[in-house]
Structure 1
Amino acid sequence: MYRDEDGYWIVECPSLKGCVSQGKTKQEAISNIKEAITGYIAALEADNLPVPEENFETFLVVV
Structure 2
Amino acid sequence: MSASTLRMTILYEQGDNGWVIASVPEVPGTRSQGRTREEARANVIDALATILTPDEDLADGDAEPLLLTVQR
Partner of 1:17: 28
Give TM-score, length-normalised by structure 1.
0.67
Partner of 2:68: none
Greater strand proportion:
2
Give TM-score, length-normalised by structure 2.
0.59
Q: Which runs of 5+ in 2 are unaligned?
A: 1-11, 60-72
RMSD, aligned α-carbons? 1.1
Higher RCO (CA < 8 A, seq sep 6+) = 2
Q: Which runs of 5+ in 1 are unaligned?
A: 49-63
Partner of 1:33: 44
Moved over 6 A (4+): none
Structure 1 residues 9-45: Cα deviation after superposition (integer angstroms, max 9, x where no partner): 0010111110000000011000001100100101xx2
Q: Tell me the number of residue pairs that the alignment of Structure 1 and Structure 2 aligns.
A: 46
Greater helix proportion:
1
Letter in 1 for 2:29: G
